[in-house]
Structure 1
Amino acid sequence: MLLDIRRIYVEPAAAALPRGQEVLARFPDAQRVEVDSHHRIPELYGDETNVARWVRIKQGALVLGVKKSLTARPNGRSADFIAPSAANGCAMACAYCYVPRHKGYSNPITVFANIDKIGGYLRRHAGRQGPKPEPNECDRHLWVYDIGENSDCSLDARVSDNVRDLVELFRDLPNAKASFATKHVNRDLLDWDPQGHTRIRFSLMPAADAKLLDIRTTPVAERIAAIDDFVAAGYEVHVNFSPVVVRDGWLADWAELLDQLDAGLGPAAKAQLAAEVIFLTHNRDLHEVNLGWHPKAEELLWRPDLQQGKRSENGFWNVRYRTGAKGGYVAALRDLIAEHTPYCHIRYAF
């Protein structure tokens, strides 16, 4: 079971808002624990002893808070702007996920109840942009806002109506669209009528990698099988080839995945398909955490023989594939994509 909410950590200000009350009503039997801040919950965050309870916490805990800082950060790669989060954290447990680094050793879903303020901010921000002056790799015509940087919106939609509110908001904005990546197929979204103003990016990787790394996610074959339905429902659907993990036989497995994708798509989906290609970046602290609950994953993710270290802007020590060799990996995968899915435009690859 992906979600079995037994305990809700609640900021009083969130519980007083309509969205907070709706979320609490969805889980009437859950224990409620009042907290001063969704950021500071000692039994969830920052305690390495939680590693043994990593998945259990994600399955059974929910946090209800208020988003205090509302900013849309310029991006220019996956989207023009990163929208203020309507949620963060996740009930899934992908072994390479960077989000847990920000809160600690477990990071269940946090829902922000002040969705009206978040939506109002986005409406005003998009209004200030005016028409998009020229095409870019984010989109030819519309400003793109990533609404799911720190969570999986398809899964968030099983907990609250925040994501639906945002999809409906962007549907009515003449100059902007929402975007989010997902590893969870939620067919409830098919009824939301986005009218082309929401882009869903289904993350894909070879099944052998996904079985080991994409813990508690929808199987890759089911993600591919959903693409045509989401296109028919009015979504723009792209794919994220992410993260690309280099290992023995990786290119052969990617070729097989691309053939599966090609066979699973109809003409409408192929006509609008584009991809982001993102090679693995891993983190030393997350590596240590994973050794405590999923060491087999680290045999693929932590490869000192292939990787080099770099201190990130926020002070984390990350590893990525070695300069020079990585360029060859990227070129090889680009060639495979051109061969097996020539209609798939690569928006960027790194």
Structure 2
Amino acid sequence: MGVTTVGERLLHLTTIYHEPDIHQYPRATQILDRFPDAERIEVPSHQNIPGLYGNEGNVRDWVRNKRNVLVLGVKKSLTARPNSRSSDFIAPSTSNGCAMACSYCYVPRRKGFANPITAFVNIEQILGYLERHAGRQGAKPEPNQCDPFDWVYDIGENGDCSVDAMVSDNVRDLVELFGRLPNAKASFATKLVNHDLLDYDPRGRTRVRFSLMPQAASKLVDLRTTPISDRIAAVNDFVEAGYEVHLNFSPVIVHENWLDDWATLLDQIDAALTPAAKRQLACEVIFLTHNAGLHEVNLGWHPRAEELLWRPELQERKRSQSGQWNVRYRSSAKRTYIGQLTQLLAAKLPYCRVRYAF
């Protein structure tokens, strides 16, 4: 019996929904050729798939849809949205959705009871837009928390690029683009170790942010992801391959003895990283944001996670920048939590710069 690869564990595509006239795009042909046995079903648009989105019954098939279903569409709106935390700009998405099943993920909140990968096939248009946009920015006038020298573009806001790279060459094309731009770099957070990315040529101009949390919490809420210890070990490999590698401590989930768990994790990181990885290390700290709608969805497929995520006695409602009502830790207590964790970081990983914490 052969060994199951990461890709085979995450993806066994049986159905590909696609927009009309998708075959005019070479990237669509590449993807369809990669998965020749999957049934092809034409749909009006990637956002209008009867029986998939908006079907509450699909909650019972949450993970099956992620493994078996792929959607191909054309990204119509090409804009680079200004950002101020992890990146200077949010690049136009080349995907949304994910084959992994993190129970706190915000993307399903807008999709309606199913969240498989949607891959956008007009990659040439997206690359051209990004190159022109970066060209218009010129040199970065002064350092900021995103980067001291380059404009930073987040290329994975609505998915996980390490997973997307198993579907198509979109991620490879983005890494190659930013590898030759003189004033900009790409950035994405990931919870999967995809060793195929080590064969790319990032030239120091793609920042991979490995998302980490204590293993006990991860085992409950980070479903279908790479184990935390393997993500930590991968930092050294990706630095050696020419990537800039940061850590994304996210989401930070408050529970009894949470700081003890974080102390153990930080000791594990310190013991694993090489001097080269430590010299270039920085991190971001993001405390949990949850949502009542997602809470209800999760109760339908993974209620145990909600025992950790849904803590009304610790949380309060707050309207997000997009206008949604979310729940976050109460602001007065959250200030204390942030101070406790950043102090722990300074003691355990003094070489790791905290780019921001909220």
Unaligned runs of 5+ in 2: 1-8
Query: 2:131 aligned with 1:133, yes or no?
Result: no
Query: 2:36 aligned with 1:19, yes or no?
Result: no
Q: Report what 1:237 is aligned to.
A: 245
Partner SS, residue 267 of structure 2? helix
When the two structures are superposed, what TM-score results if normalisation uses the length of structure 1? 0.99
Task: Identify which of 260, 263, 267 aligns with 1:252.
Answer: 260
Q: How does 1:59-78 map to 2 (within 5 A)?
A: 59-78=67-86
Partner SS, residue 135 of structure 2? helix
Q: Provide the identity percentage.
A: 69
Q: Report what 2:328 is aligned to.
A: 320
Amino acid at match of 1:228: N
After the TM superposition, which segments of 4 or more aligned residues of structure 1 sit over 4 Å from their partners? none
Q: Report what 1:113 is aligned to.
A: 121
Q: Tell me the alpha carbon deviations over residues 249-290 of structure 1, each in whole angstroms, 9 at most, x when there is no partner.
A: 100000000001111100010001000000001000000010
Amino acid at match of 2:344: L
Q: Tell me the alpha carbon deviations over residues 297-327 of structure 1, each in whole angstroms, 9 at most, x when there is no partner.
A: 0001000110001233444321100011100
Residue 103 of structure 1 deviates from its aligned partner by 1.2
Contact 1:90 1:107 in 2 (8 A): yes
Residue 346 of structure 1 deviates from its aligned partner by 0.2
Contact 1:13 1:65 in 2 (8 A): no
Task: Identify which of 180, 184, 188 aligns with 2:196.
Answer: 188
The 2-side partners of 1:289 and 1:146 are apart by: 27
When the two structures are superposed, what TM-score results if normalisation uses the length of structure 2? 0.97
Amino acid at match of 1:309: R
How many residues align? The count is: 350
The 2-side partners of 1:265 and 1:72 are apart by: 34
Partner SS, residue 133 of structure 2? helix
Contact 1:15 1:64 in 2 (8 A): no
The 2-side partners of 1:122 and 1:314 are apart by: 23
Residue 6 of structure 1 deviates from its aligned partner by 0.4
Q: Report what 1:202 is aligned to.
A: 210
Query: 2:160 aligned with 1:145, yes or no?
Result: no
Amino acid at match of 1:96: Y
Contact 1:14 1:112 in 2 (8 A): no
The 2-side partners of 1:277 and 1:310 are apart by: 19
Partner SS, residue 37 of structure 1? coil
Amino acid at match of 2:243: Y
Q: Report what 1:51 is aligned to.
A: 59
Q: Report what 1:30 is aligned to.
A: 38
The 1-side partners of 2:53 and 2:108 are apart by: 9
Residue 116 of structure 1 deviates from its aligned partner by 0.1
Q: Tell me the alpha carbon deviations over residues 158-191 of structure 1, each in whole angstroms, 9 at most, x when there is no partner.
A: 0000000000000010000000000000010101
Residue 199 of structure 1 deviates from its aligned partner by 0.1
Partner SS, residue 4 of structure 1? coil
Q: Report what 1:173 is aligned to.
A: 181
Task: Identify which of 339, 349, 356 aligns with 1:341.
Answer: 349
Unaligned runs of 5+ in 1: none
The 2-side partners of 1:313 and 1:227 are apart by: 32
The 1-side partners of 2:272 and 2:217 are apart by: 20
Q: Report what 1:83 is aligned to.
A: 91
